[in-house]
Amino acid sequence: MADPLVTVASLLAPAFERVAGRGGVDPVVRPSDRAHAQANGALPLAKELGRNPREVATEIVAAAALDGVAALEVAGPGFINLTFTAEFLAGQVALVAADDHLGVRPAAAPETVVVDYSAPNVAKEMHVGHLRTTLIGDALVRMLGFVGHRVIRENHIGDWGTPFGMLIEHVIDLGGELGEIDLTDPGALYKQARAKFDASDEFKERARQRVTLLQSRSDPMTMELWQRLVDQSADYFDLVYGRLGVLLRREDIVGESFYQPMMPAVIERLDAAGLLDESDGAKVVWVPGFTNREGDPLPLIVQARTGGFNYATSDITCVLDRVERLHATLLVYCIGTPQSQHLQMVWKATEMLGVLVPPARAVHVNNGNVLGEDRKILKSRSGEPAMLLDLVDAAIERGRAIVADRTPDLSADERDELGRTIGIGALKYAELSTDRIKDYVFDWDRMLSFEGNTAPYLQYAHARIHSIFRRAEVSPDSVLGQTPLLGEPAELQLALKLLAYDGAVAETLERWSPHRLCTYLFELAQDFTAFYDACPVLKAPSDELRTSRLALAALTARVLASGLGLLGIDAPERM
Ligand code: ARG
């Protein structure tokens, strides 16, 4: 167990239990600004025993067997302050260095987790809104996998429904030719079709009939054109994902169309469970607790009057598929905040069906908006929401511009790659280091700065450690296993931070908040800088100390690279 707080809590528990005269007492060990940690459990225990809390705390301290681990002191109304010994921390650091997960504990109960993220729509562009769900989802996928869950990525693309009537009809008008997808305007076809749809009743009617034909899946030509539209968009999505460096692949696409054939049976199940009702000719589910603006019950429409299924039907079917076919117990949805009510209603309906019930559960990892300087959703020059591919390309270009005047000793190819790493890293980190629930203002200068809580700052901290090793002419791996000497406060502080990686990952996953991991990495880089300023490494007073400090540096680089990796960000060795 890497986290000293966890270790010390388990070592303290017997003393608490002795004084309590019962088992199962939590010492409540927390970080502290007075000492390395504090145990707060004596206060509730004293209350339980009807005794003076300081007395109880004093008895616990006397009963505790923490020799060589920590010094204990009763403070305030009955807190127990803990100061770890250097030897204990050094031993823990060595354990972390020897662990290929750097002390991050595997999940106590590994689960099958489906992460639903990105989810763009066919024949439309990926825009800045998809940046958030794509990056947040991708980081969570990496972290869930790192702690040992079986993770299934699902890209729930919009590839079915009414828009395909007009799209297919428009393509037919064009003689069946889709043409090359225009990467500067991937939604061009859609816009043309939409314009025709709005202008012509005749086209509108044809589009309607085409949807019905599509839904019947009976017409080969319709299916063929639909498939080509989907394939073309999948190529485009792949290109964006590849350039952005996220894990989503074509195989991860499980679009709305995938669930269509299962929907009639789902309607029957809802009916058999007595959950189906009719409202205005549509088939609906009344989900308790949801009302419209007038305060009237809000129906969840699962089949339109015309017989067509809709977004809610597809998401209900999706829950059933994930729980019953994939045997997932945790369903994670990375989708913007506006879809919260939709998800809550869908989940409640599947709960009423007896499907989304413990151990199966779902979580909405929602997110706010990316804003421009005008505090409105970030726009492109044309005034539409900024296109994701444009942002990705601009990030790469800006990263390369930074590299151009920094690294003369690299080859042109190496410099291109490094520029990409810096640009994409900055874009991803700006996103992930912000509390996902909040809106944030997109700012190239800030995200590309080498100062502050940014990717370039962290990447540079990592590269700088590697440059120390290049100068020392030893490899980081050769010293990594050494138990460090922790004599200086800055060494102790760095050791403590290195040991907190486990807790940072755990907290990030508990709250589904990648920004917590970012904050941790930023603090780690700062603690390393403080250590490096205070403690000469290459010119350390003794060989022993030099090796010890190199070991701390090597582990810092490891943790930085690992943590950035969990965010989907590369950590170059030179910058
Ligand atoms: N395609 C949808 C949109 O662009 C997002 C789908 C999210 N996932 C889901 N299971 N509903 O709004």
Instruction: Check residues 1 and 102 and name the one with the higher pLDDT.
Output: 102
Query: Is 491 touching ligand 1 by the criterion CB < 6 Å?
Result: no
The Cα 80–Cα 428 span in angstroms is 41
Predicted confidence (pLDDT) at residue 30 exceeds the cutoff of 90: yes
List of residues 6+ apart from 39 with CB closer than 8 A? 8, 9, 12, 27, 28, 29, 30, 60, 79, 80, 82
Predicted confidence (pLDDT) at residue 43 exceeds the cutoff of 90: yes
Assess contact for 494 and 527: CB atoms under 8 A.
yes
Per-residue model confidence (pLDDT) at position 3: 84
Give the CA count within 13 Å in the CB-facing half-sphere of 397.
7
Per-residue model confidence (pLDDT) at position 481: 86
Assess contact for 549 and 540: CB atoms under 8 A.
yes
- Centre of ligand 1 to C-alpha 118, Å, is 8
State both tokens at 316: 């209900």
Query: Rounded mean pLDDT of 378-396?
Result: 93
- Centre of ligand 1 to C-alpha 158, Å, is 7
Per-residue model confidence (pLDDT) at position 562: 98
The Cα 47–Cα 551 span in angstroms is 46
- Centre of ligand 1 to C-alpha 238, Å, is 17
Per-residue model confidence (pLDDT) at position 1: 57
pLDDT tens for residues 93-127? Answer: 999 999 999 999 999 999 999 999 999 999 999 99
pLDDT tens for residues 48-105? Answer: 999 999 999 999 999 999 999 999 999 999 999 999 999 999 999 999 999 999 999 9
Candidates 114, 115, 116, 343: which one to mutate for ligand 1, based on the most atoms within 8 Å of Cβ?
A: 116
Query: Is 163 touching ligand 1 by the criterion CB < 6 Å?
Result: no
Per-residue model confidence (pLDDT) at position 380: 87
Q: Whose CA is nearest to atom 4 of ligand 1?
A: 120
Predicted confidence (pLDDT) at residue 407 exceeds the cutoff of 80: no
| Confidence band for 358, pLDDT divided at 50, 70 and 90 | very high
The Cα 54–Cα 60 span in angstroms is 10
In the chain, what are the domains?
4-84 (3.30.1360.70), 162-248 (no CATH), 449-575 (1.10.730.10)
Residue 177, CA distances (Å) to 200, 221, 291 in order: 21, 13, 46
| Confidence band for 382, pLDDT divided at 50, 70 and 90 | confident
Helix (H) or strand (E) holding 349: helix 340-352
| Atom in ligand 1 nearest the alpha carbon of residue 318 | 10
Predicted confidence (pLDDT) at residue 461 exceeds the cutoff of 80: yes
Compute φ and ψ for 380, nearest 5 degrees: -90, 180
| Confidence band for 474, pLDDT divided at 50, 70 and 90 | very high
- Centre of ligand 1 to C-alpha 263, Å, is 17
pLDDT tens for residues 289-300? Answer: 999 889 999 999
Query: Is 121 touching ligand 1 by the criterion CB < 6 Å?
Result: yes
State both tokens at 381: 């020059």
- Centre of ligand 1 to C-alpha 177, Å, is 28
The Cα 564–Cα 561 span in angstroms is 5
Bridging pattern class, strands 361-365 and 330-334: parallel
Query: Is 158 touching ligand 1 by the criterion CB < 6 Å?
Result: yes
Q: Which amino acid is at 449?
A: S
CA 19, 20, 25, 29 dihedral sign is negative
Query: Is 332 touching ligand 1 by the criterion CB < 6 Å?
Result: no
Assess contact for 311 and 303: CB atoms under 8 A.
no
Query: Is 335 touching ligand 1 by the criterion CB < 6 Å?
Result: yes
Assess contact for 81 and 32: CB atoms under 8 A.
yes
Predicted confidence (pLDDT) at residue 543 exceeds the cutoff of 70: yes
Query: Is 315 touching ligand 1 by the criterion CB < 6 Å?
Result: yes
Mean pLDDT of the chain: 96
- Centre of ligand 1 to C-alpha 114, Å, is 14
